[in-house]
Amino acid sequence: MKAAEYELRGDILVIHLKADLDHHTAVAVRESADSLLARSHAKHILFDFTGVEFMDSSGIGVIMGRYRQVIFQGGRVGVMGVGSNVDRIFKVSGLYKIVEQYESAEEAFTRPAKECFAGSNDIK
Amino acid sequence: MDKFDTEMRLAFQAKSCNEALARMTVAAFLTPLNPTLEELADTKTAVSEAVTNAIIHGYGEADGTVEVWCGRRGKEVFFSVKDTGAGIPDIGLAMEPMYTTKPEMERSGMGFSFMEAFTDELSVESAVGEGTVVKMKKVIG
């Protein structure tokens, strides 16, 4: 089973996760994402968690690692399709402080960065 | 006090592809207690963190076996994850949030924090060169 499928939407690299995001799949996702980032003009990264029921701290490493890759070029990292289990991990880890949550790929990064960070503080 | 209603032991090769097997097996062991989805997710996360630590930090590139044990007593579920790998030189430091010895692997350093957050009790026994046992307890319901 593939860990993820990748889609370029303008300057956004969308990573459609297809399996639990643990240490095993994290390695594959990291390698593929970085290779695509290097070869494309993608500025932002959107992780699509639709259908993903499990993530552990390895997933946090993947997201933070990609965040570090894009932030210096003015890029941002977003997530969509986050289910309740993954949402708890995001909340416990404080990841929503740096990652923006969107309803869809169409909506991703349409909010100004500042506004979305103000919004993310409201997430309890 | 050490009598359990039932026990289970799973031993597998220290490879990342077995991480899912470990947490699914423990989840299945819990099922008769009718855990909530949240309790199930908590347990799977805690097991996944401990098993990942055993594979990455216990054995690293070396081959080895990870052993997961579970015991049920009423609503209490006890589980342990054991490796006979490198061991932890400073357990207190290893358990500090965000501390990791493998930043190059993008380890977040949140493993023990998650185990603590998602279980009711956690203890770690380790000896350098001998291995590590992480013991956890989760009360269901």
Which residues touch A2 (CB under 8 Å, ≥6 apart)? Answer: A18, A19
Mean per-residue pLDDT of chain B: 96
B41 to A92: CB separation less than 8 angstroms, yes or no: no
Inside any domain, residue B31? yes
Contact B127/A at CB under 8 A: no
pLDDT of residue A112: 84
Check if the beta carbon of residue B139 is closer than 8 Å to that of residue B73: no
- pLDDT at residue A115 is higher than 70: no
Mean per-residue pLDDT of chain A: 90
**DSSP annotation of A108:** T
Tens digits of residue pLDDT in A9-68: 999 999 999 999 999 999 999 999 999 999 998 999 999 999 999 999 999 999 999 999
Phi-psi region of B96 (alpha: psi -120 to 50; beta: other; left: phi over 0): beta
Domain that holds residue B112: 6-139
Q: Closest approach of chain A CAs to the CA of B100, in angstroms?
A: 11
Which of B36, B110, B113, B116 would best serve as a mutation to test chain A binding (most A beta carbons within 10 A)?
A: B110
Tens digits of residue pLDDT in B68-108: 999 999 999 999 999 999 999 999 999 999 999 999 999 99
pLDDT of residue A119: 46
In this complex, the residue of A24, A88, A93 whose CB is nearest that of residue B110 is A93
Residues of B that are catalytic? 49, 53, 107
- pLDDT at residue B56 is higher than 60: yes
Give the pLDDT band of residue A116 (cuts 50, 70, 90): low
pLDDT: which is higher, A88 or A1: A88
Burial class (CB in 10 A: 0-12, 13-18, 19+), B43: buried
pLDDT: which is higher, A112 or B28: B28
In this complex, the residue of A57, A84, A85 whose CB is nearest that of residue B49 is A57
| Model ipTM over 0.90 | yes
Query: CA of B97: which chain A residue's CA is closest?
Result: A93
This prediction has a pTM of 0.92
CATH of the domain at B32: 3.30.565.10
Query: CA of B47: which chain A residue's CA is closest?
Result: A56
User: What residue ranges define each of the domains in chain A, with the CATH number in brackets?
Assistant: 4-120 (3.30.750.24)
pLDDT over 90 for what percent of chain A?
Answer: 84
Contact B38/A at CB under 8 A: yes
* Number of compact structural domains in chain B: 1
B108 to A57: CB separation less than 8 angstroms, yes or no: yes
Inside any domain, residue B1? no
User: What 3-state class would DSSP assign to A9?
Assistant: strand
Dihedral sign from CA coordinates of A84, A89, A93, A99:
negative
User: Distance between CA atoms of B41 and B36, rounded to whole angstroms?
Assistant: 9
Dihedral sign from CA coordinates of B43, B112, B86, B106:
positive
- pLDDT at residue A1 is higher than 90: no
- pLDDT at residue B38 is higher than 80: yes
Using a CB-CB distance cutoff of 8 angstroms, which residues of chain B are in contact with residue A23?
A: 16, 19, 48, 52, 55-56
Residue A12: C-alpha distances to residues A80, B41, B118 (Å) = 13, 31, 34
pLDDT over 70 for what percent of chain B?
Answer: 99
Tens digits of residue pLDDT in B3-33: 999 999 999 999 999 999 999 999 999 999 9
Check if the beta carbon of residue A98 is closer than 8 Å to that of residue A66: no
Dihedral sign from CA coordinates of A108, A110, A113, A116:
negative
Phi-psi region of B129 (alpha: psi -120 to 50; beta: other; left: phi over 0): left
Which residues touch A50 (CB under 8 Å, ≥6 apart)? Answer: A16, A17, A80, A81
B108 to A27: CB separation less than 8 angstroms, yes or no: no
Using a CB-CB distance cutoff of 8 angstroms, which residues of chain B are in contact with residue A30?
A: 106
User: Distance between CA atoms of A1 and A13, rounded to whole angstroms?
Assistant: 21
Check if the beta carbon of residue A49 is closer than 8 Å to that of residue A79: yes
